[in-house]
Structure 1
Amino acid sequence: MNVRPVVFAKAPQPGRVKTRLIPALGPDGAAALARRLLRHTLTEALAAGFGPVELCASPDPAHPAWKETALPPGLVLTPQGDGDLGARMARAARRHIDTGRAVVLLGTDCPALTCGRLRRIAAALHQGQAVLVPALDGGYVALGLSRFHPALFEAIAWGGDAVAATTCARLRRLGWRFHCLPPLADIDRPGDLRHLPATWRICR
């Protein structure tokens, strides 16, 4: 099965990313951590060996903020476009699924998301239509899909603590076979900084 990782990310500009971490890290420190997380996620997605990795970017990839951001080779850059997070993810998912590819939708908040875990997601997609990796805060770290349905993206309180539970409930209502892998920690708030790898402590 052809699997396309799609990484959703904002350009790591001070004051515009990881704003809930600014009280702990300051604007520059929060942006530095966002940059590190972005690089980690892209590197691990490329190392998983699925082929090209798509960076679905905000703002548009032509924006000067992206020209100032060092990105690894092997990426396909696309704009996120308009709408809430659900609408943006739905467009990206449908675009690939309609051409016969499976898709793994990723954020950049999880340092524990490794190439090995991405390969586990891809392997699980061979046995079902969806794979969910919940986040400890109630969201999700990754969503793998080999089929598309808009109900997975509509009328969800993104950023809330029931995103993963709502998505699982909708997958069950659709009657799809799906796998829910062990939850991982996102780095969103000052209390989450304890989940950073020891070698990343410099970001604090």
Structure 2
Amino acid sequence: MCAEPFITRPPVTLHVLAKAPLPGCVKTRLIPLLGEQGAADAHAELVHHCVTNACQALPAEHVTLWTALKHQHRLFTALSARLGVTLKPQPEGDLGTRMRHALRDAPGPAMVMGSDCPSITSDLITTCAQQLTTHNVVILPAEDGGYGLIGTQDDYPTLFSDMPWGSEHVFAETCARLTASRLTARYPKTIWDVDRPEDWQRWRHIRHRQA
């Protein structure tokens, strides 16, 4: 009897979308609380935290940081130099176009997340990667009705086109499309992101307790 051939499965890759922390261009809803520079600094802290968590969960060679606004910003180059992540510029288009582009960057299962979800821990990323090996899709729904991470086994265009991005209906609409497409999915945990002043204060409280 011949032994079954050993099949090497492509590794799960993770793609982080991030804007350069330019004052007045990022985290604008935090400006009334922190000012333009303060909001930019807060954004930089969140990007640094999220990319660090990503590299604690997966080997750096499996993590790509997709940049926007200023691709060679010192924050990005410093993260690449220190952690070894790959830098790539985000393409033009809406959020769905940019996420789908990242997910299709390499063969095999892939996950994409934003850079303002400090509640996505390294352990949670690991859990998502594990569950993606047995399901078509893995999603971390967000408290605001969106989601902070999505992983896919293959290219599923319907999940990313004509979606009401930025609204509280994104997760519900995504679930409806998953059902219509008969795709299996897992939702390991509901997370939250930092968008409003109260979100930032929530994050600062957590950081203070961890210190």
TM-score by length of 1: 0.90
Conservation of the 8 A alpha-carbon contact between 1:59 and 1:79: no
Q: Secondary structure at the match of 2:67?
A: strand
Give the aligned partner of residue 96 of structure 2.
86
Give the residue type in structure 1 aligned to 2:148.
V
Residue 171 of structure 1 and its aligned partner are, at CA, apart by 1.1
Deviations 1:134-162 (A, max 9, x none): 11111111001111111110011211111
Aligned residue pairs total 195
Does the CA contact (< 8 Å) of 1:139 and 1:162 recur in 2?
A: yes
Q: 2:169 maps to what in 1? A: 162
Q: What pairs up with 1:7-46 in 2 under 5 angstroms?
A: 7-46=16-55
Q: Paired residue for 2:6?
A: none
Verify the 8 A CA contact 2:15 2:65 in the aligned structure 1. Answer: yes
Q: Secondary structure at the match of 1:168?
A: helix
Distance 2:87 2:139 in 1: 24
Distance 2:153 2:75 in 1: 34
1:103 aligns with 2:110: yes
Does the Cα contact within 8 Å between 1:185 and 1:195 map onto a contact in 2?
Answer: no
| Equivalent residues of 2:144, 2:168 under 8 A apart | yes
Residue number among 149, 158, 164 corresponding to 1:142 in the alignment:
149
User: For residue 126 of structure 1, what is the aligned residue in structure 2?
Assistant: 133
CA 1:44–1:104 in 2, change beyond 3 Å: closer, same or farther? Answer: same
Contact 1:44 1:115 in 2 (8 A): yes
Q: Shift in Å at residue 193 of structure 1?
A: 2.3
List per-residue Cα deviations over 1:51-84 (Å, max 9, x = no partner): 421001103524xxx1355323311111111011
Contact 2:44 2:75 in 1 (8 A): no
User: In the aligned structure 2, how far is the partner of 1:199 from the partner of 1:143?
Assistant: 25
1:190: Cα distance to partner? 1.4
Q: What is the TM-score of this pair, normalised by structure 2?
A: 0.87
> Could you tell me which of 164, 187, 190 is aligned with 1:183?
190
Q: Point out where structure 1 has 5 or more consecutive residues left out of the alignment.
A: none
Q: Report the Cα distance in structure 2 between the residues aligned to 1:75 and 1:162, rounded to whole angstroms.
A: 32
What is the identity percentage for the equivalent residue pairs of Structure 1 and Structure 2? 37
Specify every segment of 5 or more residues in structure 2 that has no aligned partner in the other structure, as ranges: 1-8
Say what the alpha-carbon RMSD is for the aligned residues.
1.6
What SS does the corresponding residue of 2:110 show, helix, strand or coil?
strand
Q: How does 1:61-80 map to 2 (within 5 A)?
A: 61-62=71-72, 66-67=73-74, 69=76, 70-71=78-79, 72-80=82-90
Deviations 1:5-62, CA, capped at 9 Å, x for gaps: 1000000111111011111111111111101100001101001124421001103524
Q: Which has the higher contact order (CA 8 A, sep 6+)?
A: 1
- 2:3 aligned residue: none
Pick from 193, 200, 207 the counterpart of residue 193 of structure 1: 200
CA–CA separation in structure 2 for the residues paired with 1:68 and 1:113: 20
In the aligned structure 1, how far is the partner of 2:182 from the partner of 2:35? 46
Q: Distance in 2 between matches of 1:73 and 1:193?
A: 25
Superposed CA deviations along residues 113-153 of structure 1, whole A, max 9, x for unmatched, are 11100000011112201000011111111001111111110
In 2, Cα distance between the equivalents of 1:162 and 1:148?
A: 22
Corresponding residue number in structure 2 for 1:47:
56
Q: SS at the partner of 2:83?
A: coil
